[in-house]
Amino acid sequence: MKDYDVKKVRNIALAGHNGSGKTSLAEALLYKTDSSDRLGKTADGTTVCDYDQEEIKRHISINTSLASFNPNGLRVNILDTPGLFDFAGEMTEGICAADTVMITVSAKSGVKVGTKKAYDEAVKQNKSKMFVVTKIDDKDANFFNVLTDLKTVFGPTVCPVVVPVVSGGKIVSYVNLIEMKAYKYDSKGNAVETDMPTSEISEKFEYRIDGLIGAITEAVAETSDELMEKFFEGEEFTQEELIDGIHDGMNRGIITPVVCTSASELAGIDMLLKEIQLLLPSPDEVPKTVTVDADEISCDVDAPLSAYVFKTVADPFVGKMSFIRVMSGVLKSNSEVVNSSTGNTEKIGKLYRLCGKKQTEISQVGAGDIAVASKITASTCDTLCSPSKQVKFPAMEFSRPCYSMAVKAKNQGDEAKISSGMQRLIEEDLTLTYSQDENTKEQILSGLGEQHLEVACAKLKSKFGAEINLSVPKIAYRETIRKKVRAEGKHKKQSGGHGQYGHVWIEFEPCVSDTLVFEERVFGGAVPKNYFPAVQKGLEESVKKGVLAGCPVVGLKAILVDGSYHPVDSSEMAFKTAASIAYKDGLKKADPVMLEPIGELKVTTPDENTGDIMGELNKRRGRVLGMNPVTHGTTEIQAEVPVREMHDFAMYLRQTTRGLGSFTFEFVRYEQLPANLLTEVISSVSAD
């Protein structure tokens, strides 16, 4: 690919806690580089990256959006990810496609749970990291408290690069510790160099400057033996050594630079753009991508094509849009490639660069770059490659759905529209599932929280014209018996012609089985053999409804022991009816009980919340089976809990652990329902 330089590409994911200023920062970067003609605001719904109707209405980011711009000859791809935990799958996709994760931290509220989650995901995916302290202009902002907080939480890798100078509670300038220059900003965000601060300008700032320079020097010294030797000899590092050291340290994950900005006033944005160019690694510098077969793929434009579909958008008008990161080679429009995940050939039609919702058609995209293909059949996590060398990249790991609701069409006849729309939505969002409960026959929509499902419903209505109502899913209760009984069933009916006659004696007893166990021990031809199947069929139809609440019956053994027949009036239907009569009479006398489903719960929680979680599980009738340390400061609690008690557990866990907890829950068996809940359950099941 002639004149293509992968070293000029930067792929950045903006991540962090909800409300920490990710979208505003993206807006400032786009405006400062003339990629947008206005400085939009999230509150006004005018930003480039939050263009979805639900995002505008709710004033939050819901989807990961892509915005490309070209400052100083670079190709920068910004992936603005949501901060709400309900949309964690979007953050996973954005970080997967990036080389650097720029984690925003509010100078007002400091390090939050979303900060830690973004950092942990970046570490998990082996990406370089940078902290951007935002909202530095806020009257309650305190940069140095936030910097201390960052060092406390994330350790000595945290390295200040751009810091504010505060005097009288106001920011008077910004200091670039690499250049050792200070800048003031006018109302339009234009920088003017000014004098370096002294103790008269900002109390004790000289001491702070010395400490900050010491921190950055120490961090850079760790990146090589030569620099460490120079550091011990007391020599100052050159500007070039500082830049190269931080650049190398970021790429190796041993330095996390910290800069500060004000997106609303555009202060510090020009310095951030400079750091993007000098400090952030290009795609060919980051660790090579490893395939499922353990092959390493170099980011080389001259190598065979390999590309990864990291995100899918289902648009009812444009069609499916596939966001693609090219790992090697060149992806061209109007070409054919192999989808190694499915084995099918993909016809690549048009390719686009995106800046929010604005599309610019391009003819090709090279290694390390990101583009969007329209109307291809590939799905998220699929690998596209050259037929000459087929490779496959590992699929992303997403958070598992933990919150479920039953779906019902608001308008009759919309079921097909709902089904096809849901299929498109779960193709777009891999943290959503939509399936039928095989026990209750309800359609169940599962996701990561209440807001996640609300947004899915809103998208279903706006994109596909189908409205649904959500309700708490039914519990698949069962019934069984606890003692052995003998019951008679006689069906005798005389009419003008042939009558109906069937007569059986059946023994019912408990057993271990999910289905009816039928046996016959009839002697002397009391019931002819040709009627045995009719008796069995009558019982099999009957066990679908128990005698307490009409729930399916399990653990039942039925033995046909006696009966009688009429040579003319007996029929299969008569014996089927007689078996049903015996069933109803017998189960009432066999001490019937209700059974409820029990699941195995594994909760991962911060150590300080283990007491709260265990107390809550006791309230929910759970049995704690054990506790195991997972990582430093984190514990896994194993328990068995009734399904009935688990519907809102995801919301409780999120509130209690501030979003740091997670859990899995799998059905294991049925157990007898406590007597004190029997009346309530029977009335609720009967109402359904």
Instruction: Check if the beta carbon of residue 375 is closer than 8 Å to that of residue 320.
Output: yes
* Token pair in block for residue 103: 């984690």
Q: Which of 502, 369, 294 is nearest to 99 (CA)?
A: 369
Q: Which residue has the tokens 């996640």?
A: 452
E-only strand ranges, 494-633:
500-510, 517-520, 556-564, 592-606, 623-631
The CATH number linked to 578 is 3.30.230.10
Q: Is 439 in the same domain as 558?
A: no
Phi, psi at 144, each rounded to 5°:
-70, -30
Report helix, strand or coil for 12.
strand
Residue 200 lies in a domain: yes
Segment 339-344 shows an average pLDDT of: 93
Could you tell me if 573 and 602 lie in one domain? no
CATH of the domain at 364: 2.40.30.10
Residue 188 pLDDT more than 90?
no
Instruction: Tell me which of 5-9, 167-171, 678-682 is least confident.
Output: 167-171
Q: Indicate if 131 and 240 belong to the same structural domain.
A: yes
> What's 43's domain CATH number?
3.40.50.300
Element (H, E) at 463: helix 450-464
Same domain, 466 and 359: no
518 domain residue, yes or no: yes
> Please, is 397 exposed, middle or buried when counting C-beta atoms within 10 Å of its C-beta (0-12, 13-18, 19+)?
exposed
pLDDT digits (tens, 9 = 90+) for 231-263: 888 888 899 999 999 999 999 999 999 999 999
Strand arrangement, sheet containing 162-167: 162-167, 170-176, 181-185, 191-194
Predicted confidence at residue 130, as pLDDT, reads 97
Alpha helices per DSSP H over 263-337: 269-278
* Together in a domain, 182 and 295: no
Contact 228, 221 (CB under 8 A): yes
Can you give the pTM of this predicted structure? 0.88
Q: Which backbone phi and psi does 654 adopt, to 5 degrees?
A: -65, -45
Residue 458 lies in a domain: yes
* Contact status, residue 654 vs residue 85, Cβ threshold 8 Å: yes
**682 phi and psi, to 5 degrees?**
-60, -45
How big, in percent rounded to 5, are the helix, strand and coil portions of the chain? 30, 35, 35
Written as one letter, the residue type at 637 is I
Last residue of a domain, one of 418, 444, 470: 470
Given a cut of 70, whether residue 166 has pLDDT beyond it is yes
Q: 43 versus 117: which is more confidently predicted?
A: 117
pLDDT(200) > 70: no
- Residue 1: pLDDT over 60: no
Q: Count CB atoms within 10 A of the CB of residue 683.
A: 10
- Neighbouring residues of 86: CB distance < 8 A, sequence distance ≥ 6: 447, 448, 449, 450, 451, 452, 455
Q: Do 221 and 170 belong to one domain?
A: yes
DSSP 593-638: EEEEEEEEEEEEEEGGGHHHHHHHHHHTT-EEEEEEEEETTEEEEE
Task: Give me 557's structure tokens.
Answer: 């053994």
Q: Does 391 fall in a domain?
A: no
| Number of separate domains in the chain | 5
Residue 269 and residue 416 share a domain:
no
Element of type H or E holding 244: helix 239-252
Q: Residue 283 — very low, low, confident or very high, per pLDDT cuts 50/70/90?
A: very high
Q: Can you tell me which residue has the tokens 């090279």?
A: 366
d(CA 147, CA 111): 9
Report the Cα 234 to chain-centroid distance in Å: 49
Longest dimension (CA), the chain: 117
DSSP 410: S
List the CATH number of the domain containing 455.
3.30.70.870
- pLDDT band of 107, cuts 50, 70, 90: very high
Provide the pLDDT confidence category of residue 422 given band limits of 50, 70 and 90: very high
> Which backbone phi and psi does 635 adopt, to 5 degrees?
-130, 145
One domain for residues 35 and 134: yes
Nearest 5°: CA angle at 352, between 54 and 366?
Answer: 130
Same domain, 536 and 573: yes
What kind and span of H or E run contains 320?
Answer: strand 319-328
CATH of the domain at 679: 3.30.70.240
Tokens at residue 330, please? 């060149």
- Segment 211-223 shows an average pLDDT of 86
Residue 509's pLDDT band, with cuts at 50, 70 and 90, is: very high
Nearest alpha carbon to residue 447 among 636, 650, 639: 650
End-of-domain residue from the set 590, 619, 645: 590
Given a cut of 70, whether residue 175 has pLDDT beyond it is yes
What pLDDT score does 631 carry? 79
What mean pLDDT do residues 556-565 have?
93
Per-residue confidence at 206, pLDDT binned at 50, 70, 90?
Answer: low
* Top-ranked range on mean pLDDT: pick from 48-52, 72-76, 91-95: 91-95
Greater model confidence, 201 or 128: 128
At residue 643, the 3 state secondary structure works out as helix
Of 551, 524, 522, 520, nearest to 536 (Cα)? 520
Q: 611 and 555, same structural domain?
A: no
Report CA-CA distances (Å) from 613 to 215, 602, 629, 660, 662.
Answer: 40, 11, 15, 13, 12
Both 447 and 326 in one domain: the answer is no
Q: Are residues 312 and 361 in the same domain?
A: yes
pLDDT in tens, 622-636: 999 999 998 778 999
From CA 568, how far away is CA 524, in angstroms rounded? 19
Residue 355 lies in a domain: yes
Q: Domain of 372?
A: 289-385
Within a domain: 398: no
CA distances, 292 to each of 127, 297, 343, 390, 392 (Å): 19, 11, 15, 12, 6
Residue 537, in any domain of the structure:
yes
Weakest mean pLDDT among 30-39, 163-172, 376-385, 591-600? 163-172
Q: Which helix (H) or strand (E) holds 539?
A: helix 532-542
Q: Residue 357 domain-assigned? A: yes
Q: 590, 615, 648: which is the final residue of a domain?
A: 590
